[in-house]
Structure 1
Amino acid sequence: MSREFEIAREFEVDATPEQVWDAFTTGTGGWLWPMDAPEPREGGTGPFGSTVVTWDPPHRYTNRVANVEGIAEQTLNQLDYTIEPREGGRHAWVRYVHSGIFVEDWDNQYDGADKHTDFYLHTMREYLTHFAPRPVAFTTLDGPEASKAADALSTAVRGLGLAEDVPAGTTVEVRGPDKGLFPAVVDYHNPYFLGLRSDDALIRVFGRNHWGAPVGISVHDFAPGADAKADAAAWQRWLDEVFA
């Protein structure tokens, strides 16, 4: 049965309103994933076939799409961003509202979207604080069928050489692809997601097994000369080995 939903968040970030606006509207993949930048006008075309409903840089941006392409469970999706200056324009306050209509499996769809929202917006703050506006090579991939298991995120965390209860803020040595080791900070960790920040990358591990999907990994690689295809191949090998 169709039901409306709304997910709202408010937060401050150590970035100017202009920097926040660019993060939300340029579609680089620096913190989320690459997407077409919106046409800079009301009535213009936005990402994923949406329409730009509000365009008031750097204060307000809204896009809306009906019959969301590739998502049978959703018939309406709207993203609304409000940005206000703080401390003389050196910082920004943000209100983010994701709303729409889910048409089936409402509780599971809402729970997944709600929890992903916190992780995505945290990643945006990490990007703005540590990496913007560096160029990025982005890749995202899913684990094999075995990564749908109930304990799959814990398996992935152990596969990285980390304790299952490692808290956010901990500096760690991570065991990545081909058993290579690299230093990183655990910037986010709860029962659903793990975020790692190295000097040159944001690595995000998604415990989508909680919603019946495979574990996913996204890599935002800011190293000079970063190769998204090489990152994808390396981390796919890692996923396949961990869940073999």
Structure 2
Amino acid sequence: MAKSFEIRKTIVLEATPEQVWRTIATPQGQAAWSPDPYQSMEGMDVEATENERLAVRTPEAANGAFHAFEYLVSADDESTTTLTFVHSGYLGDDWEAEFDFGELTGYGWDMYLHTLAQYLKHFAGRPASFVTAQGPPTSATPDSWATLENALGVAGPFEQGQQLRLTPQGLPALEGVVDFAYPEFVNFLALRTTDGLYRFHDNSVMGMPQAVGHYIYADIDREATEQGWSDWLARVFA
């Protein structure tokens, strides 16, 4: 598969450039929508023009791999802003995975940028905690997604706008609306509730376990909440 890649996405956001900038360029804002908001920026090459452009490039690894992320912010009018996002890079001289990194990662960015839009539309200004947990290695098989759905008390495929109630044993039930849906061949569940955006990922196509990545806009103990979801995944796939 190709080792060099470029993923380009454009989205119109219901927010001012200043609001968008705070959400993409500060740790507090990143916690509301991004895939790895608590990653250290140490060693990164960062270029920033406030309210206009943010570019971040990772250091080059021994195998030549690097990732570059660029955000271009452009005001449309008093209430909307266009964000252009580019993720490019090189996967390394020894990259041999069979899946198409650019395609799958592009689907991921569709979801994360949608999450950004949902935050700015429904939860803007509220403090955010990103809660993530991963199942055991036994959950990396293609049939594990059905097990996860069963443990939540639902069955897909899911449609955007669909009302759902999730019942993870040992955790509070979640009621809300499906706010994002992939094509049928991508197993994923996204639920918007009154206090957060909850995401359940089937990573088995990449040989990785089932996982959750939730954005909660309420006063919580993040570590305890992460442990609760981690324990739940361990029970589901015991």
User: TM-score by structure 1 length?
Assistant: 0.85
Which among 153, 157, 164 is matched to residue 156 of structure 2? 164
Distance apart, 1:105 and its partner CA: 2.7
Q: Equivalent residue for 2:144?
A: 152
CA distance in structure 2 between the aligned counterparts of 1:242 and 1:215, rounded to whole angstroms? 11
CA distance in structure 2 between the aligned counterparts of 1:19 and 1:76, rounded to whole angstroms? 29
For residue 24 of structure 1, give the secondary structure of its aligned residue in structure 2.
Answer: helix
For residue 121 of structure 2, give the secondary structure of its aligned residue in structure 1.
Answer: helix
Q: Equivalent residue for 1:229?
A: 223
Q: Equivalent residue for 1:14?
A: 14
Paired residue total? 229
Distance apart, 1:239 and its partner CA: 1.0
User: TM-score by structure 2 length?
Assistant: 0.87
Q: Equivalent residue for 1:65?
A: 58
* Alignment gaps of 5+ in structure 2: none
Distance apart, 1:49 and its partner CA: 2.4
* Alignment gaps of 5+ in structure 1: 37-45
Question: What is the identity, as a one-letter code, of the residue corresponding to 2:216?
Answer: D
Structure (1/2) with the larger strand percentage:
1
- Assess, with a 3 A threshold, how the Cα gap between structure 1 residues 22 and 107 changes in structure 2: closer, same or farther: farther
Q: Equivalent residue for 2:195?
A: 200
Matches of residues 1-244 of structure 1 in structure 2 within 5 Å?
A: 3-28=3-28, 29-32=31-34, 33-35=36-38, 47=41, 49-53=43-47, 55-67=48-60, 75-86=65-76, 88-103=77-92, 104-105=95-96, 108=99, 109-178=101-170, 180-190=172-182, 191-223=186-218, 225-244=219-238
Cα pair 2:159 2:181 within 8 Å, conserved: yes
CA distance in structure 2 between the aligned counterparts of 1:232 and 1:127, rounded to whole angstroms? 20
Cα pair 1:5 1:101 within 8 Å, conserved: yes
Give the CA RMSD over aligned residues.
2.2
Q: Equivalent residue for 1:42?
A: none
CA distance in structure 2 between the aligned counterparts of 1:49 and 1:161, rounded to whole angstroms? 44
CA distance in structure 2 between the aligned counterparts of 1:174 and 1:65, rounded to whole angstroms? 38
Deviations 1:64-85 (A, max 9, x none): 12325xxx87612110111111
Cα pair 2:151 2:169 within 8 Å, conserved: no
